[in-house]
């Protein structure tokens, strides 16, 4: 009987394989283009890092291929890492996702997350409407020397562009992962990860949200807020239950991050469309 139960449990365990490619491209602040690197599920560059979601209890084998011309790494917060992946090399990491939550994954080599190499894994059995935002800022004075292996001044950090899921407003309006839609009374989950190196401050117009996960500020959990801080590398999940219809923005409350090329509006803005 014990053997039968073990076989049954093994059969019920979900298993997946995910291939990620470290790819170089570019993003713009409307004044200049700057190098940008992503974890892509294909070998074609897209400014969005892959956002991944798995059911609780899933075992995932990650295959990471490095197409950059320098050595990279791969780490999933609280779940393991690959320390080095040489140019042209593929390495694998197998992870059991047994705990619900959202987790940063990144290239943890030196400051490689400043290149854009950071995104989100969500582990959840929640079946309601869900949306996702990976907050990243881009500093040309860091990106170019990091990618080229040259020196940069760690005492100064002045980002030139700001994105959610690799897109600045108004491109975020066309991102199905970040364009929040629902109806009055729905329970909507919004998962956010700060893949940047500075604090970001999501601010919801029109509604308060309930914080249900905050991996660096556990005292946040249970709060009803319209704005809060996200530390570098932090993942937060909130629940929104709209009490009225309307169109409202959600933006970073650090207003410089809502500009592009120094002009407002742009950068870190999402939008909510709530029906009756």
The first and second tokens of residue 259, run together, are: 């500009």
Task: Compute the half-sphere exposure of residue 58: CA atoms within 13 Å on the CB side of its CA.
Answer: 19
The first and second tokens of residue 9, run together, are: 């449990």
Kindly report the number of other CB atoms within 10 A of residue 23's CB atom: 21
pLDDT at 260 over 60: yes
Choose the weakest-confidence range: 10-19, 144-153, 229-238, 245-254: 10-19
Choose the weakest-confidence range: 6-15, 190-199, 219-228: 6-15
Q: How far apart, in whole angstroms, are the C-alpha atoms of residue 95 and residue 92?
A: 10
| pLDDT tens figures, 129-154 | 999 999 999 999 999 999 988 999 98
pTM exceeds 0.85, yes or no: yes
Helix (H) or strand (E) holding 190: strand 188-194
Reported as a pLDDT band with limits 50, 70 and 90, residue 88 is: very high
Determine the average pLDDT of the residues in 35-42.
95
- What is the rounded average pLDDT for all residues in the chain? 93
Closest CA to 93 of 103, 83, 102, 101: 83
Q: How far apart, in whole angstroms, are the C-alpha atoms of residue 32 and residue 44?
A: 22
Q: How far is CA 241 from the centre of its chain?
A: 22
Kindly report the number of other CB atoms within 10 A of residue 97's CB atom: 23
pLDDT at 28 over 80: no
Determine the average pLDDT of the residues in 245-265.
92
pLDDT at 44 over 70: yes
Reported as a pLDDT band with limits 50, 70 and 90, residue 34 is: confident
pLDDT at 33 over 90: no
Q: How far apart, in whole angstroms, are the C-alpha atoms of residue 78 and residue 235?
A: 12
Determine the average pLDDT of the residues in 264-274.
95
pLDDT for res 27 = 80
Three-state secondary-structure class, residue 141: helix
Determine the average pLDDT of the residues in 233-239.
98
CATH code reported for the domain at 14-275: 2.60.40.420
Q: How far apart, in whole angstroms, are the C-alpha atoms of residue 267 and residue 275?
A: 26
| pLDDT tens figures, 49-62 | 999 999 999 999 99
Reported as a pLDDT band with limits 50, 70 and 90, residue 262 is: confident
């Amino acid at each position: 009987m014990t053997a039968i139960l073990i076989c049954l449990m093994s059969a019920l365990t979900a298993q997946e394989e995910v291939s990620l490619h470290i790819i170089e491209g570019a993003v713009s602040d409307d004044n200049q283009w700057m190098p940008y690197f992503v974890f892509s599920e294909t070998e074609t560059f897209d400014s969005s890092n892959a956002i991944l979601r798995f059911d609780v209890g899933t075992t995932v084998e990650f295959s990471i291929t490095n197409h950059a011309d320098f050595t990279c790494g791969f780490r999933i917060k609280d779940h393991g890492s690959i320390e080095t992946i040489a140019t042209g090399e593929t390495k694998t990491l197998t992870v059991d996702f047994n705990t619900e939550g959202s987790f940063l994954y990144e290239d943890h080599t030196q400051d490689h997350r400043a290149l854009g190499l950071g995104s989100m894994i969500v582990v959840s059995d929640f079946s309601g409407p869900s949306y996702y935002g990976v907050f990243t800022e881009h500093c040309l004075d860091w990106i170019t020397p990091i990618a080229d292996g040259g020196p940069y001044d760690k005492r100064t950090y002045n980002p030139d562009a700001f994105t959610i899921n690799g897109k600045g407003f108004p491109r975020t309006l066309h991102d199905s992962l970040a364009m929040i839609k629902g109806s009055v009374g729905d329970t909507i989950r919004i998962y956010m990860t700060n893949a940047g190196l500075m604090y970001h401050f999501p601010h919801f117009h029109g509604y308060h949200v309930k914080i249900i996960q905050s991996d660096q500020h556990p005292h946040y959990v249970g709060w009803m807020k319209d704005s809060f801080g996200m530390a570098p590398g932090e993942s937060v999940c909130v629940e929104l239950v709209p009490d009225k219809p309307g169109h409202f923005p959600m933006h970073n409350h650090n207003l410089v991050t809502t500009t592009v090329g120094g002009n407002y509006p742009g950068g870190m803005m999402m939008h909510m469309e709530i029906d009756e």
